[in-house]
Amino acid sequence: MSFSVKIAKSRGMCAGVERAIQTVKNAILKFPQKNVYVLHEVVHNKHVVDDLRSEGAHFVDSLDEVPDNSVLIFSAHGVGISTFEAAKARDLTIVDATCPVVSVIHKKMNKAGLKGMDAVVIGHKGHQEVVGTIGQYTGDASKVHIIISADDVSLLNIDGDNAMFATQTTLSIDETRLTVEALKKKYPNIQGPKADDTCRATQVRQNAVKELARSCDLVLIAGSANSSNSNRLKEVALNEGALAYLIDDSSQIEISWFNNVTTVGLSAGASAPQYVVDEIVDYLKQNGASSVEEVGSDLKEKSFPLPKEVHL
C-alpha cells in the first residue's frame, strides 16, 4: 500500500477560536484564586476542551452549575441576552469570548428586535451559535424564524418589507447561497448581507478543501463530530467526488480506507489544533504515505484582541 499525501495550507484554527482558547488560558492565570468555568465547550473540538480541562478549566451546560465567586466565560459561539443578564445578576466575574464575527450578527439581531422586524436566521436549529443569535432578539419571539434550505423559504410567511436575515457563520457557502437566493427572490426588500454572514475563515477553508478534493481520492478532515465548520468541510469534499471522513485524530482512521487510493488529502476544521494534524501525518507516514506536501495558498489569518478582563 502506497499513496501520496496533500495537505491544505489553508486549514486549522481561525482567529476567533485562537482568541477563545487564549481567553480561557489567560483567565486561569489571572484569577488563580477562583475557579474558571466555561458555559458550553469554548470551541467544538474534543482535544482543545480536554487540554483546557487539564489546565484547570471547568465546562458546564448551565449557569446553575457555576458557583458564586467564580470566573464565567461565554464560549466563542455566543449566548443570548437572557443568559447574559442572568449571569450579571450573580456574583461572577464574566468574560465574553464570543467570536467578534458572531458579535456583529448579534448587533443586527438587537436592532431587528428593537424595530419589530421579522428576523430570518439561516442555520442549524439547536446549534449553540444559532441559539445565541436568536437569543439576541428582544422583540416578539414569533417574529424569529430559523431555516436552513431553499425549500424552507417556501414555508415562510413574513412581512418582507420589514424583515432582515442573518446566517450562521460556519455554513456551507454553496448551500447557503441557494437559500439566500430563494429568500431574496421571495422577499426582494429583505435586509441582509449581499451574500451571507459566513466568516472569511470558513470560506477560505472550504475553497481549499474543494481544490484539494479535486486531486485526491480520499480526504481526511481533522475535527470533532459536533463542529459545524468541520462537518461542512467533509461535505465539500464529498460533493467534489472524493471519499471523505471527519476524524478527531488518527485513532479513528481505518486502514481499509486506503485500499485502491493513490492520493490522500488532509485538512482541519477551524477549531482543530496543529498537533492533531501533525499526529495524523505521522500515522500516514507509518502506514503507506510515500510523500507529503502542502498545497494551495497560504492562510492569511488576522487576529482579534482578547477581552480586556483577561489582559495579563
Catalytic residues: 129
Query: How many Å apart are CA 219 and CA 292, to the nearest integer?
Result: 14
* Cα(213)–Cα(8) distance, integer angstroms: 10
Cell of 150: 431553499
Question: Following DSSP, what letter does each residue of 21-56 receive, concatenated?
Answer: HHHHHHHHHH-TTS-EEEES-SSS-HHHHHHHHHHT
d(CA 22, CA 273): 13
What distance in Å separates the CA atoms of residue 131 and residue 232, rounded to the nearest whole number?
19
- Using alpha carbons only, give the angle 107, 109, 113 rounded to the nearest 5 degrees: 120
